[in-house]
Amino acid sequence: MRFAHFVHVALLVVFSACSGQNPANADASAQVGGTTGAGGVGGTANSSAGNASVGGRPSTGGTTSSTTTPAGVILYGIPYVNVNMWLGPVDYAESQWHNACGLEDGTKYPTAIQNLYGNYIIGLDGGNIPNVESHCDNCAQLTANGKTIIAHIVTYGVENGVDAIDLSPEARSALGLSDSNWTGTWQFCSCPTNGTPIYYEFDSRQWNPQNFWYMRIWTRNQHLPVTLLETKIGSAAWVAASQQSDGAWQAPSADFSSGFQVRVTAVDNQELVDTISAPAGLNPANPVPGHANFQ
C-alpha cells in the first residue's frame, strides 16, 4: 500500500481531531458524522431549476447528471467502481499529509467545521479527477463490503491507482477495509448538513497590517457543490471570483474594509446571498456562518 503524496505540501495544517463516527450499515441510509451548528448573517436565498452537472467523467461520453437515491442523497456524475481506497491517513491533525483544501499559512481546518464534518474525511486522486480543487468541501458516497458512508473531501494528491481515494482511519474502519481488502466504489454526492448553514472562511495571510484589498474565501459545509462565488461592495455590480488550486475563491482586488456581500451559486442554480460586516476581525480559525444552506 502507498500513501498519497499531496501536491500542496506547503499549504496549511488543521486543528485537533473531532468526535469519531459509528460504522455505516448496509442499507439505504448513508452515515455521516458531525455535530450541529447554527448562527448566520443577513441575506436572502433564491432558487431556480437547472440541470445539475458536476465532477466525474461520463462512461460513454456526453454530460454528467444528478440523481437522488431513496435516502435523499443526490448523486452526481458517474460511480468510480472497484477503485483503490487507501488509508491516507487523512486527518485534521495532518499527521502525515497536508489537507490541500485548507489554507497555506499553517492554519488547520477550523474546529467548527471539524465538528460539522465529523471524522469521515477523504482525499481525491488529483492526477485523474478533472478540476479536482472544485470538489473541496463537497462530499462523496463510499461503498465497500456492503457498507455505505458519506465523507467530506478535504484534500487531494497523486494517488496509486486511477480515481483512487485516501481515507481517514474512521472512514476506512466503517467500510471494513484493511491492508488486504482496499477496493470499493465511490461517487460525488450532496452533503448532509442537518439544518446547519453554509460557512465562509477568509484568508488573512496578507492582512498584516490590515490589507482589505486582498480577499480569498472558502465555502465550507455546503449542501450542494458551489459553482460560482461573487462579491459585491455597496451598490456596485456583482463581481465573480476565480477558484484557486486550494479551493478558495479569490475576488478581484477591491476595498472590502467597509463590508460586502457574498453570493454563491450551487450546481443546480440555487443562490445564497449573505452580508459580511466590516472584516476587521475576520480570522480563518473562526469561519462566518451564513444565514441558510442550499436545499
Residue 139, pLDDT score = 98
Domain definitions of the chain by residue range: 55-189, 199-289
The confidence score (pLDDT) of residue 180 equals 95
- Cβ atoms of 203 and 216 within 8 Å: the answer is yes
Q: Nearest to residue 146, comparing CAs of 24, 21, 20, 33?
A: 24
Q: Collect the ranges in the chain with pLDDT lower than 50.
A: 1-64
What pLDDT is recorded for position 268? Answer: 97
pLDDT of residue 85: 98
User: What count of other Cβ atoms lies within 10 Å of the Cβ of residue 17?
Assistant: 16
Give the cell for residue 149.
458512508
pLDDT at 168: 98
The pLDDT score that the predictor gives to residue 208 is: 55
Q: State the sign of the Cα–Cα–Cα–Cα dihedral 9, 10, 11, 14.
A: positive
Residues in the chain: 295
Q: Please tell me the predicted confidence (pLDDT) of residue 3.
A: 35
Q: Residues 46-89: pLDDT tens digits?
A: 433 333 334 443 332 333 456 666 578 999 999 999 999 999 99
* CATH 2.60.40.760 for the 199-289 domain, yes or no: yes
Check residue 28 and give left, alpha or beta (phi > 0: left; psi -120 to 50: alpha). alpha
Measure Cα distances from 7 to 10, 125, 126, 176 in Å.
8, 11, 8, 28
pLDDT of residue 179: 95
Per-residue b or e along 166-195, where b marks 16 or more CB atoms closer than 10 Å to that residue's CB? bbbbbbbbbbebeeeebebebbbbbbbbee
**55-189: CATH class:** mainly beta
pLDDT given for residue 226 in this prediction: 98
Q: Over pLDDT 70: what percentage of the chain? A: 72
Tens of pLDDT, residues 123-137:
999 999 999 999 999
Q: Give the per-residue pLDDT at 128.
A: 93
